[in-house]
């Protein structure tokens, strides 16, 4: 196993360091593309925006990711739905409270 791994790695320390740095950079690029893909799929249904953001991050890894963070929708689809439902619920509650306040008080029977 060690022999097969050493076939890909150089024996020169400088070249080995460059190889390790390139492997780390490749790992970061793959991570950023996968993170962007997962995140944009949670934030929009627009195929064009999804494809643009993924390609932007893949072509310009670090700068593209920062641009993506600036242009992405601020809320996920689930957060927008929850906010919409909460707003509808609050408006129903406030309208029912107003209706209760507008009803005349019933005289008490003695």
pLDDT in tens, 50-105: 999 999 999 999 999 999 999 999 999 999 999 999 999 999 998 888 777 777 66
Give the pLDDT score at 110. Answer: 60
For the record, the structure tokens of 17 come out as: 């360091």
pTM of the model: 0.73
Break the chain into its structural domains and give their ranges.
30-74
pLDDT at 13: 86
In tens, the pLDDT along 2-50 reads: 566 667 787 888 999 999 999 999 999 999 999 999 999 999 999 999 9
Q: Around Cβ 43, how many Cβ atoms within 10 Å?
A: 20
Predicted local distance difference test score (pLDDT) of residue 108: 67
Within 1-110, residue ranges assigned H as helices are 2-6, 13-43, 47-59, 61-71, 77-102
CA atoms 27, 30, 32, 34: torsion sign: negative
């Amino acid at each position: 196993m060690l022999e097969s791994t050493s076939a890909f790695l150089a024996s020169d320390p400088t070249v080995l360091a460059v190889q390790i740095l390139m492997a780390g950079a490749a790992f970061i690029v793959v991570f950023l593309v996968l993170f962007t893909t997962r995140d944009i799929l949670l934030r929009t249904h627009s195929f064009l925006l999804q494809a643009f953001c993924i390609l932007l991050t893949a072509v310009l890894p670090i700068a593209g990711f920062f641009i993506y963070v600036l242009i992405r929708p601020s809320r996920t689809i689930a957060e927008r739905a929850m906010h919409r439902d909460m707003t509808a619920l609050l408006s129903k509650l406030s309208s029912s409270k107003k209706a209760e306040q507008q009803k005349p008080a019933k005289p008490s029977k003695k």
